[in-house]
Amino acid sequence: MKIAISSDGPNLNATVGDKFGTSQYLLIVDLESGEFEAVPNPGASGQRGAGMQAVVLAISKDIKTVLTGYCSPTAYNQLKANGIEVLTGLSGAVEEVVEKYKKGELKAGMRAGTEPKSRRIKVDKSALVQATRSSARQFTILLPTLLGVVLLIGLFNAFVSKDFLVSIFSGNVALDTLWGACFGSILAGNPINSYVIGGELLKYDISLFAVTAFILTWVTVGLVQLPAEIAALGRRFALLRNGLSFILSIPIAIITVLILNLIGS
């Protein structure tokens, strides 16, 4: 009777491979004679279909039982369909696992498709360090924006009064949307800042129509930056682009809010 053990090395002192389909070797052990054969696993490259290559190898070697750390559901089903028993969740030295199998001490402790917990919690330290550095860089890049948001909230609350906003935004959908587009057109800035100001406007009971138009023009129209845009792209293009962006922002804002209301209802 022959059994196959996924292995990280070509001898019985090697460690049982984590995965049947991609382990470096399959050790074919003849339980009657005690002889073994170390066969390079054709799926060790980890390419697509690696598990099935190992299955074909096991079938061709007339294997009766496969011992491994983990076996994918697809490979497991194919092995079982060909009369091959599969025992997963195994670890340690190959020789020790074989001896336990001979004594009948092994059981199918893990279901096919379930990776052993001890194997899933392994952490790649280099990857962890790289991820930490990447997160730190991203935070450094975002820090000026975050500080700007905090300052912007303070300035908005300090210099823009509720009475002033109420006197301009009367509750008329068309006029409020127009005024929102006008205020957003003055400056062209970071979208995050427009969200902050928009959120403050909503706190003052300014309509969502006006806030939506404000956000649209904030990121598409910029009168303050218009001279620079004219110098870089030409007067005709700059004026046409800003004009169309302003005009289209009004119906887009109204349609967006109406759709949101329909979805909400």
**SS3 of 219-232:** HHCCCCCHHHHHHH
How many Cα atoms within 13 Å fall on the side-chain side of residue 167? 5
- pLDDT reported for residue 117: 47
- pLDDT reported for residue 114: 45
For residues 257 and 207, give the distance between their C-alpha atoms in angstroms, rounded to a whole number.
10
Which residues sit opposite 67 in a β-bridge?
5, 87
Can you tell me whether residue 39 is helix, strand or coil? strand
| Average pLDDT per 10 consecutive residues for the chain, totaling 265 residues | 89 88 87 86 69 82 89 87 89 89 71 47 63 75 62 59 72 87 77 76 85 88 80 86 92 92 82
- pLDDT reported for residue 149: 55
Q: What backbone phi and psi angles, to 5 degrees, belong to 146?
A: -65, -45
Which residues sit opposite 27 in a β-bridge?
5, 38
For residues 153 and 251, give the distance between their C-alpha atoms in angstroms, rounded to a whole number.
28
- Max CA-CA distance within the chain? 97
Determine whether 94 is exposed, middle or buried from the number of CB atoms within 10 Å of its CB (0-12, 13-18, 19+). buried
- pLDDT reported for residue 243: 92
Tokens of 122: 């392994």
